[in-house]
Structure 1
């Protein structure tokens, strides 16, 4: 495990309980997000993985829409919280940089606000693994911070707890290009204003060629 991955894992272990409390119930007040997730659920029939599932709220929501889905997260504490909150669902510890999933084993894959923690140089390899895991015609949904290129190094998060993870913001056009270069066809994209000047929220639908 690289130093950056280890720092991200330790940071999310530290903030996991506060983070789970912070996001509890937020989806109810986000109609656009629910619409995006609902569309993904309608498009995919078969096994799905959420990569970077955190405390399991998105995995659980998609399961409630009928998806056959399980969650994977880098943080053991996040996985522990998810398993306790949603005992009927499967959650595993794992990294998107080394996914232990067979070729063509999934019909859908979602990475919801998790890829921004990866350095840009690592994204092509990660997206190639997403492509490998999906069946031909399989669906990918990425949710991500986007906007002006920026490398953020926050020192605290979710209640003032010290963290050492990093965040790499990239333009929408660059993220779209990376997904295409990995062998996907872009089928839809939604760009919403972010919470800071120059920042955007991107929802990107793609299909394996």
Structure 2
């Protein structure tokens, strides 16, 4: 934390510090209630394992439930979160895994260190003008051939919340355009692999997008990373299998390239104690 960090970083940290216990209870069983999310997480994990494995990081790991889920899928994964309260909670809940404080706007990781990176509903707190910098950070820390998985809610207007779980907060949740996200990823140097658009449910009228992308491998005959850098072990001509979406969403293996105020913020579902049944 520095005196010059942006207000949105400070507000996001303070908000999640305040609601950490309630939020952790809400999302504790999130993978069990999200078959489409599990499908994409499983695909991501299979890609990383098939590529040869290597370290993976979840950015915005919160109380650690998704990091732990990916660990059960055979990944060497750790978590990074902005909130020290969330990090402490994740360490207590999953002592076998590593969790650290950090921000996606300035990752304290070496160049080319990772085989995979997951940002599961965490880029939604980044102001739009900083998204290109964040994706450049993701590209920097991934090894050639490294995999990226993003999840976010789809829309145009941000939502601002002054209160959550009875706590005063100052949190903005930004819904994003999948086409814009894909364009920014390509500008950062990624190759989109697949995107899945989950259409609204009766109990959750907000569409969601899941995006897989890859940092390209070096062209044949060019030099890769220096011998001192860790890198993902990836076959040069690995072919990605087609992606099939379960019922309720659409999948594409080759994708095309003023705030609303409320009192309880949305994540994958709205952050209230009745979030598993109430609409967003």
State TM-score, norm by structure 2: 0.72
Aligned with residue 41 of structure 1, among 37, 45, 53:
45
1:93-112 superposed matches below 5 A? 93-112=101-120
**Residue number in structure 2 paired with 1:88:** 96
Does residue 31 of structure 2 align to residue 27 of structure 1?
A: yes
* Distance (whole Å) between structure 1 residues aligned to residue 210 and residue 33 of structure 2: 17
Aligned with residue 193 of structure 1, among 185, 196, 199:
199
Checking the alignment, whether the CA contact within 8 Å between 2:8 and 2:127 is kept in structure 1 is no
**Residue number in structure 1 paired with 2:187:** 181
Aligned with residue 138 of structure 2, among 130, 137, 162:
130
In structure 1, stretches of 5+ residues that fail to align are none
In structure 2, stretches of 5+ residues that fail to align are 217-280
Aligned with residue 207 of structure 1, among 214, 220, 224:
214
* Distance (whole Å) between structure 2 residues aligned to residue 83 and residue 96 of structure 1: 19
Which one has the bigger helix percentage? 1
**Residue number in structure 2 paired with 1:114:** 122
* Distance (whole Å) between structure 2 residues aligned to residue 144 and residue 170 of structure 1: 7
Aligned with residue 143 of structure 1, among 148, 151, 156:
151
C-alpha deviation, 1:170, in angstroms:
2.1
CA-based RMSD of the aligned residues comes to 1.0
* Distance (whole Å) between structure 2 residues aligned to residue 27 and residue 139 of structure 1: 20
**Residue number in structure 1 paired with 2:17:** 13
C-alpha deviation, 1:193, in angstroms:
2.0
User: Which consecutive segments of 4 or more residues in structure 1 shift more than 3 A?
Assistant: none
Does residue 106 of structure 2 align to residue 72 of structure 1?
A: no
